[in-house]
């Protein structure tokens, strides 16, 4: 049976984060969205829970990492084409993202990266697995 995956990310300003991801044409699941959290829909089995920092803190005994100062995770999002990667990056930068890596073209894969307003690092990529080198 397929499993669902929910990635939980702390955010300083939930409304600002929702606005940012709506500018990237994501939608949110209203069943899991309130004043403390917003469930960004990746697909029918995957979501990213944007949690207000004080709410997020209730789920852990560890300090919350400052994603602007250290890397806590790298979130990779596949897209349908190289052109989609470029278009997505343009939208992200226009919405306030900061580029984190230069684009890289490996022939079979094209990738680019940005940090969202809270510093979480996202990689957007296109890959043609049939063109991957063996090995």
Please give the pLDDT value at position 38.
98
Tokens of 2: 């397929």
CA distances from 1 to 4, 29, 41, 45 (A): 10, 22, 20, 11
C-alpha span between 47 and 7 (Å, rounded): 6
- What integer pLDDT is reported at residue 64 of this predicted model? 94
* pLDDT score at 129: 87
Contact between residue 48 and residue 9 where contact means Cβ atoms under 8 Å apart: yes
Query: Which pLDDT tens digits describe the chain residue by residue (135 residues)?
Result: 889 999 999 999 999 999 999 999 999 999 999 999 999 999 999 999 999 999 999 999 999 999 989 988 999 999 999 999 999 999 999 999 999 999 999 999 999 999 999 999 999 999 998 888 875
Domains of the chain: 1-60 (3.10.180.10), 69-135 (3.10.180.10)
Entry pTM: 0.89
**Cα distance between residue 131 and residue 127, in whole Å:** 8
pLDDT given at position 100:
96
Dihedral angle at the C-alpha atoms of 88, 33, 61, 76, nearest 10 degrees? -20
What is residue 126's three-state secondary structure?
A: strand
Q: What is the pLDDT of residue 135?
A: 52
């Amino acid at each position: 049976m397929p499993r669902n995956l929910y990635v939980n990310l702390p955010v300083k300003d939930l409304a600002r984060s929702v606005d940012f991801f709506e500018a990237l044409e994501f939608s949110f699941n209203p069943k899991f969205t309130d004043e403390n959290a917003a469930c960004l829909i990746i697909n029918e089995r995957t979501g990213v829970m944007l949690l207000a920092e004080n709410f997020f803190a209730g789920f852990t005994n560890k300090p919350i990492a400052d994603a602007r100062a250290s890397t806590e995770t790298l979130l990779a999002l596949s897209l349908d084409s190289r052109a989609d990667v470029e278009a997505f990056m343009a939208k992200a930068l226009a919405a306030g993202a900061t580029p984190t890596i230069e684009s890289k073209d490996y022939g079979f894969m094209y990738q680019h990266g940005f940090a969202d307003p809270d510093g979480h690092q996202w990689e957007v990529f296109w890959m043609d697995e049939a063109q991957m080198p063996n090995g």
